[in-house]
Structure formats: C-alpha cells, structure tokens
C-alpha cells in the first residue's frame, strides 16, 4: 500500500467518525455507514459544506474509492491531488474558516471619527487607495464615508459647499450605515463560516443595493464593537479550492 493510499484511508476513517457523530444517527439501531451519514447531513442540512453539491458528490466518490481499496487491493490508487482535496474538505468540515479569521482586524482599519477633518480623510483615502472609510464612535460603526458621499450630499441637499473647516460630522445625514442610496453594509458575527460570505456580495435582484463591505462584530449586531471588516478582496485570502466550493 503506497503512502497516498495510507493517508487517504486514515483521513477517511477520521471523517467517517465525524460525519456519523454529526448525523445524529444512533448506531445502536443498526450499522451507520459513511454514505448513510453523508446523505443524512446533506438532506437535513446539518452542515453547509456537505450540502454543497460538488462537495457531496466528491465525498460520494471518495466513499466508492474507499470501498474499492478495502475489498479489491491494487485495483486503483488515489492521486496526490485527490488526497489533498479530500483533506481540505475534511479540514473545512472539522475546523471551518470563520469571518474573523479572514477579516481586516480593527487595529488595521483606516477609519474616521465625527471630528476628523474632511481634508485629512480625503487625503488619506487617496494615498491609501481606499473607496470607503468607516466612521467610528466609541468602537462602534456609526456610518461610512465613501467616494460617493459628495455625490449623495449634492443629490440630497441640491447644493454642495465645502471648505477646510469641514469635518465628517458635516456629512452626518448622508454617511449613516442605512443612509447610503446605492450600497449597503452588513453586520455579521465573528464565527460565521467564511464559505457563506461570497453570496453576501451578490445582488438578490435588479435594483437591490450593492453590498460594499461586511462589518464583523461579536454577534453580528450593529451596536457592538467593531472587530474587523471584510471586502471582496479579503475573500482572496481564502484558499483557492475553498473559494471554488463557494461558487
């Protein structure tokens, strides 16, 4: 038996035990196989990773491969790519990547306060190539100053006049989290599975506001301290295979 086969069989047994436990099926009422546990988890939606069609089919094929390896020696062997993919899926089921793990942490976020000078924030956004800056007060998000704030201010007030004394507070009426005309900002809990986040950047239907970023807090509540933020760019931190599973 080669090294890849040994790796696969060892990992398969570990995942099998996990899926049986996750399925909630009682082994005292009869033998619970990998496939039976897998089907239960998928169709009862007990795990979002297993519920993905591509993952489910891959694990079904893995089950068939394991049976062949167990009963018909040397008829086939798993490739390194197959074993690595199996291990990645196993890892995601066991230890799912969370929103907090991929977010830009609060201490790294460029932000504004109500008293921030407009000129300072605009200069900072240009130099840092930022399109949005959260407005923070006592650690919580109160609004977002963005590259469209001037446009929206003009649209709402039918005039636009700024000078060097202006602060972010002068744009209070158009920077609130719920006040943006064409975009929205969603609060999510720190432990939300990263694999679910890509869909949050998709519009539900024509005319819906575009989600520009996700704010991470302890329980996904707007009045909680900001722990981090996630943009579509942050999703690139997720390993390629996991991003493919999101689609």
> Which tens digit of pLDDT belongs to each residue from 42-73?
999 998 888 888 889 999 999 999 999 887 76
206, pLDDT greater than 90: no
d(CA 131, CA 115): 20
Domain covering 100-246: architecture: Roll (3.10)
pLDDT of residue 54: 85
pLDDT of residue 190: 95
What are residue 209's phi and psi, to 5 degrees?
-70, 145
Q: Could you tell me which residue, 70 or 19, shows the higher pLDDT?
A: 19
Q: How large is the average pLDDT for residues 174-201?
A: 89
Average pLDDT, the chain: 89
Provide the pLDDT for residue 235: 80
145 Cβ contact list (under 8 Å, min separation 6): 112, 121, 132, 133, 134, 135, 168, 171, 175
Question: pLDDT at position 243, please?
Answer: 54
Q: Is the pLDDT of residue 129 over 60?
A: yes
Does the pLDDT of residue 245 top 70, yes or no? Answer: no
Which backbone phi and psi does 215 adopt, to 5 degrees?
A: -100, 125
Angle at 233 between CA 227 and CA 236, to 5 degrees: 100
Q: How many CB atoms lie within 10 A of CB 202?
A: 9
- Give the pLDDT confidence score for residue 108 in this predicted structure: 93
pLDDT of residue 201: 81
pLDDT at 100: 94
- Least confident range of 31-35, 139-143, 201-205, 230-234: 201-205
pLDDT band at 225 (very low <50, low <70, confident <90, very high): very high
The more confident residue out of 242 and 171 is: 171
Q: pTM for this structure?
A: 0.74
Across 214-219, average pLDDT? 97
The C-alpha atoms of residue 214 and residue 192 are separated, in whole angstroms, by: 11
For 185, phi then psi, to 5°, come to -130, 125
């Amino acid at each position: 038996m080669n090294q890849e086969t040994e790796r696969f069989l060892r990992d398969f047994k570990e995942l099998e035990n996990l899926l049986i436990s996750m399925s909630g099926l009682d082994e005292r009422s009869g033998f619970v196989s990998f496939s039976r546990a897998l089907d239960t988890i998928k169709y009862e939606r007990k795990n979002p990773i297993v519920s993905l069609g591509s993952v489910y089919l891959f694990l079904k094929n893995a089950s068939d491969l394991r049976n062949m390896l167990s009963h018909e020696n040397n008829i086939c062997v798993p490739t390194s790519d197959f074993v690595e993919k199996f291990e990645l899926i196993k890892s995601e089921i066991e230890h799912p990547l969370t929103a907090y793990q991929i977010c830009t942490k609060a201490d790294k976020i460029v932000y504004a306060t109500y008293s921030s000078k407009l000129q300072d924030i605009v200069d900072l956004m240009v130099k840092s190539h930022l399109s949005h800056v959260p407005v923070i007060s006592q650690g919580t998000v109160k609004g977002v100053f963005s590259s469209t704030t001037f446009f929206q201010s003009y649209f709402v007030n039918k005039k636009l006049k700024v000078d060097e004394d202006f602060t972010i507070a002068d744009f209070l009426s158009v920077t609130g989290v719920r006040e943006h005309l064409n975009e929205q900002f969603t609060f999510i809990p720190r432990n939300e599975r990263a694999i679910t986040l890509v869909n949050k950047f998709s519009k539900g239907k024509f005319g819906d506001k575009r989600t520009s970023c996700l704010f991470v807090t302890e329980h996904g509540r707007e009045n909680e301290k900001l722990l981090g933020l996630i943009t579509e760019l942050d999703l690139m931190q997720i390993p390629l295979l996991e991003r493919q599973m999101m689609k």
